[in-house]
Protein backbone atom coordinates (compact mmCIF):
# COMPACT_ATOMS: atom_id res chain seq x y z
CA UNK A 1 0.00 0.00 0.00
CA UNK A 2 3.06 2.24 0.14
CA UNK A 3 2.78 2.70 -3.64
CA UNK A 4 -0.85 3.78 -3.29
CA UNK A 5 0.13 6.28 -0.61
CA UNK A 6 2.75 7.83 -2.89
CA UNK A 7 0.28 8.02 -5.79
CA UNK A 8 -2.20 9.62 -3.42
CA UNK A 9 0.28 12.30 -2.35
CA UNK A 10 1.49 13.12 -5.85
CA UNK A 11 -1.76 12.97 -7.82
CA UNK A 12 -4.45 13.61 -5.21
CA UNK A 13 -5.99 10.21 -5.96
CA UNK A 14 -7.46 8.85 -2.73
CA UNK A 15 -7.61 5.05 -2.54
CA UNK A 16 -10.71 4.35 -0.50
CA UNK A 17 -10.87 0.60 -1.03
CA UNK A 18 -8.90 -2.02 -2.97
CA UNK A 19 -10.05 -5.61 -3.56
CA UNK A 20 -8.12 -8.41 -5.24
CA UNK A 21 -9.38 -11.50 -6.98
CA UNK A 22 -7.47 -14.20 -8.89
CA UNK A 23 -7.13 -12.24 -12.11
CA UNK A 24 -8.25 -8.69 -11.45
CA UNK A 25 -8.26 -5.78 -9.04
CA UNK A 26 -11.10 -3.46 -8.04
CA UNK A 27 -10.29 0.02 -6.79
CA UNK A 28 -12.66 2.56 -5.30
CA UNK A 29 -11.00 5.94 -5.36
CA UNK A 30 -11.71 9.62 -5.59
CA UNK A 31 -9.56 12.19 -7.32
CA UNK A 32 -9.13 15.83 -8.11
CA UNK A 33 -11.51 16.85 -10.91
CA UNK A 34 -8.63 17.83 -13.19
CA UNK A 35 -7.96 14.14 -13.86
CA UNK A 36 -10.15 12.18 -16.24
CA UNK A 37 -11.14 8.69 -15.09
CA UNK A 38 -9.04 7.17 -17.89
CA UNK A 39 -5.99 9.14 -16.81
CA UNK A 40 -6.43 7.88 -13.24
CA UNK A 41 -6.39 4.29 -14.51
CA UNK A 42 -3.27 4.93 -16.61
CA UNK A 43 -1.43 6.55 -13.68
CA UNK A 44 -2.31 3.73 -11.27
CA UNK A 45 -1.43 0.95 -13.74
CA UNK A 46 1.83 2.57 -14.79
CA UNK A 47 3.17 3.37 -11.33
CA UNK A 48 2.10 0.07 -9.75
CA UNK A 49 3.67 -1.91 -12.61
CA UNK A 50 6.95 0.02 -12.32
CA UNK A 51 7.08 -0.62 -8.60
CA UNK A 52 6.27 -4.32 -8.88
CA UNK A 53 8.91 -4.84 -11.59
CA UNK A 54 11.43 -2.97 -9.43
CA UNK A 55 10.71 -5.25 -6.46
CA UNK A 56 10.49 -8.46 -8.53
CA UNK A 57 12.87 -8.04 -11.50
CA UNK A 58 12.37 -11.58 -12.83
CA UNK A 59 8.61 -11.19 -13.06
CA UNK A 60 8.60 -9.39 -16.41
CA UNK A 61 10.04 -12.49 -18.10
CA UNK A 62 7.24 -14.65 -16.65
CA UNK A 63 4.45 -12.52 -18.08
CA UNK A 64 2.90 -12.72 -21.53
CA UNK A 65 4.57 -9.89 -23.47
CA UNK A 66 6.28 -8.66 -20.31
CA UNK A 67 3.23 -6.60 -19.33
CA UNK A 68 1.77 -6.64 -15.82
CA UNK A 69 -1.60 -5.12 -16.74
CA UNK A 70 -3.78 -5.78 -19.76
CA UNK A 71 -4.58 -2.82 -21.99
CA UNK A 72 -8.26 -2.86 -21.06
CA UNK A 73 -10.19 -1.94 -17.98
CA UNK A 74 -13.71 -1.42 -16.76
CA UNK A 75 -14.43 1.91 -15.18
CA UNK A 76 -17.56 3.22 -13.53
CA UNK A 77 -18.21 6.41 -11.65
CA UNK A 78 -20.38 6.97 -8.61
CA UNK A 79 -22.29 10.23 -8.60
CA UNK A 80 -23.99 11.83 -5.66
CA UNK A 81 -27.02 9.59 -6.20
CA UNK A 82 -24.94 6.41 -6.53
CA UNK A 83 -25.01 3.72 -3.92
CA UNK A 84 -21.45 3.83 -2.58
CA UNK A 85 -22.18 1.18 0.07
CA UNK A 86 -23.03 -1.40 -2.63
CA UNK A 87 -19.76 -0.75 -4.45
CA UNK A 88 -17.75 -0.88 -1.20
CA UNK A 89 -19.33 -4.23 -0.29
CA UNK A 90 -18.63 -5.63 -3.76
CA UNK A 91 -14.96 -4.67 -3.56
CA UNK A 92 -14.65 -6.01 -0.02
CA UNK A 93 -16.04 -9.36 -1.20
CA UNK A 94 -13.34 -9.92 -3.85
CA UNK A 95 -11.82 -13.37 -3.59
CA UNK A 96 -15.07 -15.00 -2.46
CA UNK A 97 -17.04 -17.42 -4.63
CA UNK A 98 -18.58 -15.51 -7.56
CA UNK A 99 -22.12 -16.71 -6.88
CA UNK A 100 -21.89 -15.13 -3.43
CA UNK A 101 -20.96 -11.72 -4.79
CA UNK A 102 -21.73 -10.94 -8.41
CA UNK A 103 -25.41 -10.08 -8.22
CA UNK A 104 -25.08 -7.89 -5.14
CA UNK A 105 -24.47 -4.94 -7.44
CA UNK A 106 -28.14 -5.05 -8.37
CA UNK A 107 -29.32 -4.83 -4.78
CA UNK A 108 -29.61 -1.08 -4.95
CA UNK A 109 -32.15 0.70 -2.74
CA UNK A 110 -34.53 1.75 -5.50
CA UNK A 111 -34.69 -1.87 -6.73
CA UNK A 112 -34.81 -3.49 -3.32
CA UNK A 113 -38.30 -4.96 -3.89
CA UNK A 114 -37.26 -6.41 -7.25
CA UNK A 115 -35.21 -9.63 -7.42
CA UNK A 116 -31.63 -9.23 -8.74
CA UNK A 117 -31.09 -9.85 -12.45
CA UNK A 118 -30.85 -13.56 -13.21
CA UNK A 119 -32.54 -14.62 -9.97
CA UNK A 120 -35.40 -17.05 -10.10
CA UNK A 121 -35.72 -17.71 -13.84
CA UNK A 122 -33.80 -19.77 -16.33
CA UNK A 123 -33.97 -19.36 -20.07
Confidence of residue 121 (pLDDT cuts 50, 70, 90): very low
Domain 2-77: homologous superfamily in CATH: Transposase IS200-like (3.30.70.1290)
Q: What is the pLDDT of residue 33?
A: 87
- Model pLDDT for residues 65-110, shown as the tens digit of each residue: 888 898 888 888 777 666 778 888 878 888 776 555 444 444 433 3
- Dihedral angle, C-alpha 38, 93, 66, 36, nearest 10 °: 10
Query: How many CA atoms within 13 Å lie on the side-chain side of 61?
Result: 3
Distance of CA 8 to the CA centre of its chain: 16
Q: What is the pLDDT of residue 44?
A: 93
- Model pLDDT for residues 14-49, shown as the tens digit of each residue: 998 888 887 888 888 988 889 999 999 999 999 999
Active site residue 73: no
Q: What is the pLDDT of residue 116?
A: 41
Spell out the domain ranges in the chain.
2-77, 81-118
Q: Is the whole model's pTM more than 0.75, yes or no?
A: no
Q: What is the mean pLDDT of residues 47-67?
A: 90
Amino acid sequence: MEVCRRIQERYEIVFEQVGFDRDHVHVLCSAAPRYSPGMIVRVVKSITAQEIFKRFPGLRGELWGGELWTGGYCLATIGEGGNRAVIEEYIKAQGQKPEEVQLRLFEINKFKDTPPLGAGSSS
